[in-house]
Structure 1
Amino acid sequence: MKNIVLIFGALYGLTSVILGALGAHAFKKLLSVEKLTSFETGVRYQMYHALTLLILGFSLSFTTGLEKWASWGIIIGTFLFSVSIYFLSFSEYWNINLKILGPITPIGGVFMILGWVCLLFYFFKYR
């Protein structure tokens, strides 16, 4: 589990830097200010949670269910939250109705929140 968390942390960090650079340069010409702001929110949350996953990967032993659930909540939530925002940001540019992805963003947020709640319970119970 430790390696999975570290791999996702590094992958999310890598892709957030790449997408952040694209957003700051190439995507400025493609997206409206409102869509670019949303895109940047996805990038920011992805980087925050990439760093969180790296910290968790280096500091937890993953011997309890709470540690594992916290990590999976953050991994799944970050993917659903950020990726859905990326696609929604480009829906106008691609001229595709992706409103079906609208509910995915808050579902991703709920997974991230549950990951943090599990982490909080872990700290209360084991630390």
Structure 2
Amino acid sequence: MTLNRTLAVFAALNGAMAVMVGAFGAHGAGPAIKTLLTTGAHYQIVHALLALACAVWPLRSRLSDIAGWLAVVGGLVFCVAMILTGREPSFGAVAPVGGVLMIAAWLLLAFAALRNPPSRA
């Protein structure tokens, strides 16, 4: 198994950001933005874990690497859109871009898993 070190680093950084955003949402944000921050942090942490899984995927391929990067970028775009929507509602229109990237990451990883069945030893 080979590790995609760069993807693992970005996945970990996304995870750290998700915890920071979630903590701010829980302890420092006003009620109007609290739900947005909680939602953004939740999606980002889940997709940081997906990206980390892609970084260590046993059948690592170009498809699993792309799926990991889609998860990293999608989670980041979605979370940042949620943060900015609290200040400027028009940024809510950016959130679906992150959502589409996250969905594509899951679908691409499923395709990668089907394309490369485990070898029988």
Q: TM-score range by the shorter chain?
A: 0.7 to 0.9
**How many residues are matched?**
115
User: Which residue number corresponds to residue 26 of structure 1?
Assistant: 28
Q: 1:107 aligns with which of 85, 97, 103?
A: 97
Q: Is the 8 A contact 2:66 2:105 kept in 1?
A: yes
AA matched with 1:80: V
- Tell me whether 1:36 sits opposite 2:41 in the alignment: no
Please, what TM-score do these two structures have when normalized by structure 2? 0.84
Unaligned ranges ≥5, structure 2: none
Structure 1 segments of 4 or more deviating over 6 A? none
Question: Secondary structure of 2:56's match?
Answer: helix
AA matched with 1:41: T
- Tell me whether 1:86 sits opposite 2:83 in the alignment: yes
AA matched with 1:111: L
Q: Judging by fraction of residues, say which structure has more helix.
A: 1
* Aligned CA-pair RMSD: 1.7
Per-residue CA deviation, residues 17-52 of structure 1 (Å, 9 max, x unaligned), is: 12211211111xx342xx311210000011111112
Please, what TM-score do these two structures have when normalized by structure 1? 0.81
AA matched with 1:68: D
Unaligned ranges ≥5, structure 1: 92-96
* Alpha-carbon distance in structure 1 between the residues aligned to 2:59 and 2:8: 12
- Identity percentage of aligned residues: 30
Q: How does 1:1-127 map to 2 (within 5 A)?
A: 2-27=4-29, 30-32=30-32, 35-60=33-58, 62=60, 64-89=61-86, 91=87, 97-99=88-90, 101-127=91-117
User: Which residue number corresponds to residue 94 of structure 1?
Assistant: none
Q: Is the 8 A contact 2:76 2:98 kept in 1?
A: yes
